[in-house]
Amino acid sequence: MTTSNAPTSAWVQANGLSLHYLDWGNPTAPHVLLLHGLQDCAALWATFASSISDRYHVVALDHRGHGDSRRAEAYPISDYVDEAADVVRALNLTDVTLIGHSAGSKNAWMCIAKNPGIAKKLVITDMDPDSHNPGSVAMISRYKAEDDEYDSLDEVVERLRDRQPNASDAETRYDAEVMTIASADGKLTWKRSRDVVTKYDRPDVWDTLPNVKVPTLIARGADSTLLRHDVAIRMEQDIPDCRLVEIPGGGHWMHLEQPEAYSRTVAEFLAT
């Protein structure tokens, strides 16, 4: 994994919590806010953020309970949605494009649907509006069943390789490093609250899609088991101004597995 510049760390008060974010600079450029998925963190956007940071002011948020952000007592989806809106306003991200991955995509489109005018564009990266499907049930069930601790970074790398098999070795090792933290006994644990998994809120939100009244790109990994092709087609039809692109060789984490294709696809959408 390579990046052309390193972001700065900062914190913002949003929806009652101190939240951490990464900022790639270029403040006079058009704004982009990146929202990660369940269990992930802002730093996983590094490859993509760096690829567009010469043209955009890119900010990646650590959602509540994730990364370096403060933990919360509860994690309803409404709190994720409201904190995204608060971050946009607090950082004065005018005419911002919201780009989400997985659960971050749902947070992004619900934020736009709830707050007309808050963003000018949207990118949904491999997320469906269903309360459950076979792919999501399998994923959440594994998250709940697996141990939080690992004896070595190599073990974490192997766990991540299972979910993003087409990612480069460098990307996967980097992801393992930024997603974990060493505990007092030297073991590595995920850098998030356990509650974000055990208390995850996944309602059916199909009714919010017609209210997403900004130009929207749906990026689906062609090999994804979470966002099915037929569901993506229906989403494209429900969002008023939307187009679907499927990226070959990518699964649910396509932005990590096929970073050049993902960056090119999103950059073309942003430029139109």
Residue 231 maps to a domain: yes
Residue 248 maps to a domain: yes
What does the longest C-alpha to C-alpha distance in the chain come to? 52
Q: Give the DSSP letter string of 247-272.
A: ETT--TTHHHHSHHHHHHHHHHHHH-
Residue 100 maps to a domain: yes
How many domains does the structure of the chain reveal? 1
Share of the chain above pLDDT 90, in %: 88
Residue 107 maps to a domain: yes
Residues 109, 103: Cα–Cα separation, whole Å:
10
Domain CATH for 76: 3.40.50.1820
* pLDDT for 135 beyond 80: no
Residue 153 contacts residue 189 (beta carbons within 8 Å): no
Residue 74 maps to a domain: yes
pLDDT in tens, 210-265: 999 999 999 999 999 999 999 999 999 999 999 999 999 999 999 999 999 999 99
Residue 21 contacts residue 93 (beta carbons within 8 Å): no
Instruction: Give the residue numbers spanning the domain of 77.
Output: 8-130+203-271
Residues 213, 205: Cα–Cα separation, whole Å:
15
Q: Give the DSSP letter string of 15-29.
A: TTEEEEEEE---TTS
State both tokens at 71: 């933990």
Residues 21, 43: Cα–Cα separation, whole Å:
9
pLDDT of residue 134: 78
Neighbours of 119 (CB within 10 A): 26
pLDDT in tens, 157-192: 999 999 999 999 999 999 999 999 998 888 999 999
pLDDT of residue 213: 98
pLDDT of residue 4: 54
* pLDDT for 102 beyond 60: yes
Residue 184 maps to a domain: no
* pLDDT for 66 beyond 60: yes
* pLDDT for 2 beyond 50: no
Report the SS3 class of residue 142. helix
Amino acid at 219: A
Residue 189 maps to a domain: no
* pLDDT for 1 beyond 70: no
pLDDT of residue 239: 98
pLDDT of residue 133: 81
73 class by beta-carbon count within 10 Å (0-12 exposed, 13-18 middle, 19+ buried): exposed
Residue 179 maps to a domain: no
Mean pLDDT of 63-76: 96
Residues 242, 122: Cα–Cα separation, whole Å:
9
pLDDT of residue 268: 98
